Amino acid sequence: MKNLKTLLFAAVLFIGATGFTSAQGKIAHINKQELIKAMPEYAVAQAEIEKLSKTYEAEIQGSYKELDAKYKQYNAEAESKTEEENIARMQEVEGMKQSLGQYQQQAQKQLQEKEFNLLKPIVEKADNAIKAVAKAQGFEYVVDEAMLIVADGKNLMADVKKQLGM
């Protein structure tokens, strides 16, 4: 009876160790951010975002110059104007500042939305390629390298790039 318990215990340990070993073989890793940045579509998207950003920046800088010129003009003419006119002019300048601030916020929001809309299909394409390669190679889990402390498993980067035609 004691030999049977020992044999049963050894069998359980062996099965557990075998299961653990095979589970380790079903995990791979990839640096998803690096993959996305290496995709040609990413460079195109970044160029479009950069172009839009520069357009907004130029418009905002032009508006600031206009505001600054108006402020300097109003300050130079302040002594020759009535107090009511000066108050109205300062209110106009403050209104312009507020409008410009709102425009900056709107531009930033539009830029973020554009970036999201451009990058979403790229990220989805990368995810689909990772899933296809993982499935073809029998991996149950693929972990992003950015979260790993030790990465001794299979790195799928080369295989996923091949899947994407890169």
pLDDT at 11 over 70: no
**Per-residue model confidence as pLDDT tens digits over 57-110:** 999 999 999 999 999 999 899 899 899 999 999 999 999 999 999 999 999 999
Band of pLDDT at residue 148, cut at 50, 70 and 90:
confident
Token look-up 């302040």 returns 78
Average pLDDT over residues 2-25: 48
pLDDT at 120 over 80: yes
Contact 81, 89 (CB under 8 A): yes
Contact 23, 136 (CB under 8 A): no
